[in-house]
Chain A
C-alpha cells in the first residue's frame, strides 16, 4: 500500500464519518460544522486528483461562502435541538432502508466494471492557466450566461426576502 492509497483511505474515512454526522446529529450547528469538514476532505481529494484550482475554489465557495450563509441563517433563526421536529420512527427506517438499498444496487452494478487505473504522476491539467484557456476559448457563452444567472438569483433573493 503506497502513500497515495493511505492518504485516500484517511480522507475517505473522515469524509464519510463527517457526512454521517451531518444527517445524524440533532443540533443543526453541529451538522453545519460536520459538512464543512466534509468539504475540506473533498478539497483534499481534488488536490490528489490534480485539480488544484478546483480545490481552492471549492474551499472559497463552499466553506467560505455557502456554509457561512447556512450558519448565519441557523443562528438567525435560533434553532435548538428541542424545537427540531422529529419524524415518525418508521419513516426514518424507510428512508434509511431505501438509501441503503440504492447504495447496495449501485455498488453491485459497478463492482465488476473494468476501469483504467489512475497514474500517480502530476499533470498540469488542473492548473489555472490551462483551465482559464479552456474556459475563455470554448466555454465563454456559458460563462456569460452564468453571470446572468447570478444576477437573477440576487434579484430573486432580495425580492423573496424583503418584507411586504
Chain B
C-alpha cells in the first residue's frame, strides 16, 4: 500500500482541523480542533516510521518516541488550556472567542 494514502489522510485531517479553528467561535471546539491537528501529524509520523522500518533502518523507532512526546505535550497543554477556558467562563459567563477582544485595552 503506498505511503501516499497516509499522507493524504493526514493532510485532510489537518485541513479539517484548520477549518474548524477558522470557522467556529466556541473556545472548546477550537481547542478540540487543535487536538485533531496534532493527531494528524502523529499519524503521519507513524506512517513514516513504518516506511523507514520497511527500508531496514534500525532507528525507525525514534519517530514513535517522538509521537509519544507529542502526546505528553498535548496532555499538559490540555490541562492548562482547559483551566484557562474555565477561568474565562467564570469571569465572562461565555466561551465566545470574541469576548477576548477586551484584552486589547
Residues on A close to B: CB < 8 A?
4-5, 8, 12, 15-16, 19-20, 22-23, 28, 31-32, 35, 38-39, 42, 45-46, 49-51, 53-54, 57-58, 61-62, 65-66, 69-70, 73-74, 76-77, 79, 83-87, 91-92, 94-96, 98-100, 102-103, 106-107, 110-111, 113, 115-120, 123, 125-126, 130-131, 134-135, 138-139, 142, 146, 149-150, 153-154, 156-158, 160-161
Using a Cβ cutoff of 8 Å, how many contacts connect chains A and B? 227
Contact A117:B3 (CB < 8 A) given known A22-B32, A23-B24: yes
Pull 17 A–B residue pairs with CB atoms less than 8 Å apart, ordered by A. A4-B1, A12-B9, A16-B16, A22-B32, A45-B6, A53-B64, A61-B74, A62-B71, A69-B78, A70-B31, A85-B98, A126-B64, A130-B61, A134-B59, A138-B65, A139-B65, A153-B79
From DSSP, what is the main secondary structure of chain B's interface residues? helix
